[in-house]
């Protein structure tokens, strides 16, 4: 398979994951689109350096999260009020209202976390193992476990406060 | 919402997204190239601002030209007109050349050829900027003296101080101009590396 075809296949396979990363780190659809494109560009740029020592998904999440975090740092717009509806995916079929509502609540909670916490919870929700989360974030697996427990506590408190 | 419930919602979202895959190879390639080409847009924007500022200065000088009475002021204003006009011409050429580097519709070798021409033009512009920044000191001081202090340069107090200050400022300005262009050129270079989307 050619490099371009291989790369586009990788992006197509992980379209959903990239969507979720860009949705969690931005506040409106334009920024989301911009970040999505930036992530694809960064993946393309670093594609040659990908040596295959890490799993493809580990490498992809690492690049995507690093790009999102640096995007967040650069963008002052992130301090604006969170327009949740704007970042929700187009769940077009009928009967998705409930899912949309629950997603909005979930995103609302996650967006209150800091950049690293956001990344960790996203990877946890994506069913990544502690080892993989550690490889992506650069933390040790034990540290991931500790951070994750703290994030869970934080989320619980947040939700309780708002209930 | 408990964490288990969160995971459930997330997994529902994943399923929904799986059914909505829209990206094609063309779209992914285009998306990457479009993002790269926006870096050229930054150069065009910077040059456009330069043109607007220069036109503003030309208009200001033109508007106030009849207030200049001493030959040093008149000569300075004419010199500034010349520098600004040439600057506008250069900036327009840079913009036009940058626009010919069409990342979407040209072959890679064609883009490289046009980029080389663009870089050559920038080199000439850089030399021009070095010479004119020195010359502009000679032109600006008498004009400023007449327009803002209502004195000609021979009556101006603090002429030497102004000259010394300019001598300090000129290398600084030159440093920033050089830095600006090298940064822009490397941004374009980077963009060209990004668009090499072929095997």
Q: What is the CATH number of domain A1-80?
A: 1.10.1740.10
Q: Which fold does the domain A94-163 belong to in CATH?
A: Arc Repressor Mutant, subunit A (1.10.10)
Distance between CA atoms of B87 and B51, rounded to whole angstroms? 8
Do A1-80 and A94-163 share a fold? no
Residue A8 near chain B (CB below 8 Å): yes
ipTM of the complex: 0.74
- Candidates A1, A2, A3, A4: best to mutate against B (most CBs of B within 10 A) is A4
Q: Which residues of B touch A20 (CB under 8 A)?
A: 13-14, 17
Closest CB to B29 among A4, A16, A96:
A4
The residues near A134 (Cβ < 8 Å, ≥ 6 apart) are A140, A141, A143, A144
- A125/B10 Cβ within 8 A: yes
Distance between CA atoms of B70 and B66, rounded to whole angstroms? 11
Distance between CA atoms of A44 and B3, rounded to whole angstroms? 34
- B32/A40 Cβ within 8 A: yes
Q: Which residues of B touch A90 (CB under 8 A)?
A: 20
Nearest one of B91, B86, B89, B85 to B49, comparing CA atoms:
B91
Q: Are B98 and B43 in contact (CB under 8 A)?
A: yes
Distance between CA atoms of B174 and B70, rounded to whole angstroms? 30
Model confidence over B40-83: pLDDT tens digits? 777 788 889 989 999 999 999 999 888 888 888 899 899 999 99
Tokens of A112: 């209150």
Per-residue pLDDT of chain A (163 residues), as tens digits, is 667 778 878 888 888 888 889 888 888 777 888 888 888 888 887 887 776 777 888 889 988 998 888 887 766 544 333 333 333 345 444 556 777 777 778 888 888 888 889 899 999 988 889 999 998 888 899 999 999 999 988 888 887 777 6
Q: What separation, in Å, do the N-terminal and C-terminal C-alpha atoms of chain A show?
A: 52
- A89/B16 Cβ within 8 A: yes
Domain residues of chain A, as ranges? 1-80, 94-163
Residue B151 near chain A (CB below 8 Å): no
């Amino acid at each position: 398979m050619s490099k371009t075809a291989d790369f586009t296949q990788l992006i197509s396979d992980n379209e959903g994951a990239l969507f979720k990363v860009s949705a969690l780190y931005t506040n409106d659809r334009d920024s989301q689109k911009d970040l999505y494109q930036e992530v694809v560009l960064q993946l393309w740029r670093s594609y040659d350096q990908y040596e295959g020592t890490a799993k493809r998904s580990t490498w992809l999440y690492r690049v995507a999260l690093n790009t999102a975090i640096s995007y967040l740092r650069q963008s002052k717009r992130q301090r604006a009020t969170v327009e949740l509806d704007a970042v929700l995916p187009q769940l077009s079929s009928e009967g998705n209202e409930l899912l949309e509502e629950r997603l909005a609540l979930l995103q609302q909670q996650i967006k209150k976390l800091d950049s690293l916490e956001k990344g960790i919870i996203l990877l946890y929700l994506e069913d990544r193992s502690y080892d993989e989360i550690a490889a992506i974030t650069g933390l040790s697996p034990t540290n991931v476990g500790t951070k994750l427990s703290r994030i869970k506590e934080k989320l619980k408190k947040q939700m309780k406060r708002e209930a | 919402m408990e964490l288990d419930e969160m995971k459930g919602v997330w997994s529902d979202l994943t399923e929904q997204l799986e059914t909505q895959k829209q990206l094609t190879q063309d779209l992914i390639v285009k998306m990457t190239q479009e993002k790269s080409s926006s870096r050229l847009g930054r150069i065009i924007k910077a040059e456009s601002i330069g043109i607007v500022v220069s036109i503003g200065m030309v208009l200001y000088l033109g508007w106030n030209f009849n207030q200049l009475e001493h030959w040093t002021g008149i000569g300075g204003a004419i010199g500034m007109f010349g520098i600004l006009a040439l600057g506008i011409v250069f900036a327009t050429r840079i913009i036009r050349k940058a626009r010919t580097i069409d990342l979407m519709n040209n072959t890679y070798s064609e883009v490289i050829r046009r980029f080389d021409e663009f870089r050559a033009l920038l080199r000439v512009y850089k030399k021009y900027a070095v010479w004119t920044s020195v010359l502009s000191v000679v032109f600006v001081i008498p004009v400023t003296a007449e327009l803002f202090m209502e004195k000609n340069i021979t009556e101006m107090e603090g002429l030497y101080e102004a000259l010394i200050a300019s001598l300090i400022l000129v290398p600084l300005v030159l440093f920033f101009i050089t830095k600006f262009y090298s940064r822009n050129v490397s941004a374009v270079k980077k963009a060209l590396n990004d668009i090499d989307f072929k095997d």
